Amino acid sequence: MTDTVNVPHLGKTPLLDTIDTPEDVRAVPKEQLRQLADELRTETIDAVSVTGGHLGAGLGVVELTVAIHNVFNTPDDRLIWDVGHQCYPHKILTGRRDRIRTLRQEGGLSGFTKRSESEYDPFGAAHSSTSISAGLGMAVARDLQHGDNNVIAVIGDGAMSAGMAYEAMNNAGALKNKLIVILNDNDMSIAPPVGAMSAYFSRLWSGGAYQSVRHVAKQVTGAVSKSLHDAVGRAEEYVRGMAAPEGTLFEEMGFHYVGPIDGHNLDHLVPVLKNARDADLGPILVHVITQKGKGYAPAEASSDKYHGVSKFNVATGEQQKSTPKAPSYTKVFAQELCKQAEKDDKIVAITAAMPDGTGLDLFAKKFPDRFFDVGIAEQHGVTFAAGLASEGMKPFAAIYSTFLQRAYDQVVHDVAIQKLPVRFAIDRAGLVGADGPTHAGSFDITYLASLPGFVVMAAADEVELMNMVATSATIDDGPSAFRYPRGEGRGLKMPEIGSVLEIGKGRMIREGNRAAILNLGARLGECEKAADDLAARFGMNITLADARFAKPLDHDLIRQLANHHEALILIEEGSIGGFSSHVLEFMAADGLLDGRVKVASVHLPDEFINHAAPAVMYDRAGMSAEKIAAKALSMTEAGEAAIRA
């Protein structure tokens, strides 16, 4: 853990300065909670201006965070933040303020909730829509062990669009264990929430009154104020006009619905949460309306409410973004897909609530009728793509590697078994830096290359990415995938449009002797640096090849490398069981491992690597130019002699 960082706002946040743990929050008089929230917002803004990270979501839940810790007895009462990207104010109030300026830095605090970091983080999260399931598990465990603590799950309206949330609610409604779900409805997740759910929330909220339906909701809100209680009665008639007489969707699923409540009004929040805490009921859903980016004008005015920011000037909101030296891989993918779509009107693009993150906002502007944002619903998105493919369309599903994991059964059952030509554009492949292991694209080579009939490609540079988009567009007899990293390309000269590659054929980058490197993916640049270093320092010329395909393998290329070199090093930005395993399986079957060549596999280690700068993370994994060169030296007689000399 890094050293404690000084807190510059000490003295300027007098009430917050007295808070070490939530126990101190519970001691704050109710008339001072507004001051505490204001100071907490100030501290959150200042901290993120130093580190960068997720800002808008945290600003939207400042009052809610204060109210929860004021009302509930955390950590005995379990508080689960869905996704966890809104938890910075929570971290400040739970004994981590002295480290808050280490957020997302090497050795510092995680940008999400993390069990190993604090007892106030009872469940780690960085993917959406898990909180209700986890909370229900905790509630059932509590009741089986005769406990009496509360379990609170805070989930956003965007996360509520995922099927997993409804699976959990359906189960919770049937089990009837006491569970408090707080729906944080800010009408905006990363991108505007898609589908009927967002409109449903908006209809409930329209009219401006604090509405609640059913007798239980009246009971819970009744203690707040006479005016609010009267508003409930007025809202009853309104809501019945647009909902089934039996009640709201949530009540149909077995929840007692309360709300909507103004999530920035502590005079309303605190009493409602107290009543929810004390109610002797089964699962309760408290619907809270918040504003993402609340209280910071630049965030409120921004289209994404400053969802994710780099370091910034607090006074102006101006972010400190470096000038890119080359287009990002994400942009290269999107631009090439647009070019292919201009030639082929059967090409369609699909994203799961990440149009900006995947670059498909560019595609959406050019081809709005052929772009589909399915919401936070990767499972649905993959099967939706399979349905499109079954009718002759050419779907490109652009999904981060870490999020595609959520739809693996659909990839297997709905795509691979049926040999449907869905094209998977896998962004954020490899290690991603500050977001840490929850967002690392470590496993897609392994989990896709094991599937029969899949073509799996990995781009070594931005030109190769263009070629792989073009290649994938031509594959009509089965599924294909191409992976590419986060960040900028290598600055290569770009062709006008991508070229179609021969399936299963790699390329020779440079020919040498003694040692060979067979690379898959974006470590090619580091491999070239290693080769240059070995030539300059030791006069050792090594062969370097780019596999391009993890499946099907280039058998001829592998034979050539194995038969003409002392040592062969396999390099991939993926977990054990991936490309290297497939190469070694082939070599064993082909008799290439019968004492002819030393083989080393350099893949991601069998552990989850904590957040740090990507270069640091790859060095730990043995994939820096220095580590690659050292591996090559150690595997040849000439290299060992050079080391001894």
Q: Give the chain's radius of gyration (CA, Å).
A: 27
Burial class (CB in 10 A: 0-12, 13-18, 19+), 307: buried
> Hey, CA dihedral for 100, 102, 107, 113, is it positive or negative?
positive
- 325 in active site: no
- 406 in active site: yes
Q: Tokens 């449009």 belong to which residue? A: 497
Two tokens, residue 506: 């790699």
Catalytic-role residue among 91, 292, 394, 423: 292
Catalytic-role residue among 406, 483, 514, 551: 406
Neighbours of 2 (CB within 10 A): 12
Distance in angstroms (rounded) separating the CA atoms of residues 21 and 466: 52
- 378 in active site: yes
Are the C-beta atoms of residues 33 and 90 closer than 8 Å to each other? no
At 482, phi and psi to the nearest 5?
-135, 135
Q: Helices marked H in 344-390 — which ranges?
A: 360-366, 378-390
Q: Which amino acid is at 337?
A: L
Distance in angstroms (rounded) separating the CA atoms of residues 574 and 39: 43
Catalytic-role residue among 39, 43, 336, 378: 378
Q: Which amino acid is at 267?
A: D
Are the C-beta atoms of residues 70 and 26 closer than 8 Å to each other? yes
| Sheet architecture: strand order including 567-572 | 507-510, 543-546, 515-520, 567-572, 598-602
Rounded to 5, what percent of the chain is helix, strand, coil? Answer: 45, 15, 40
- The residues carrying an active-site annotation are 292, 378, 406
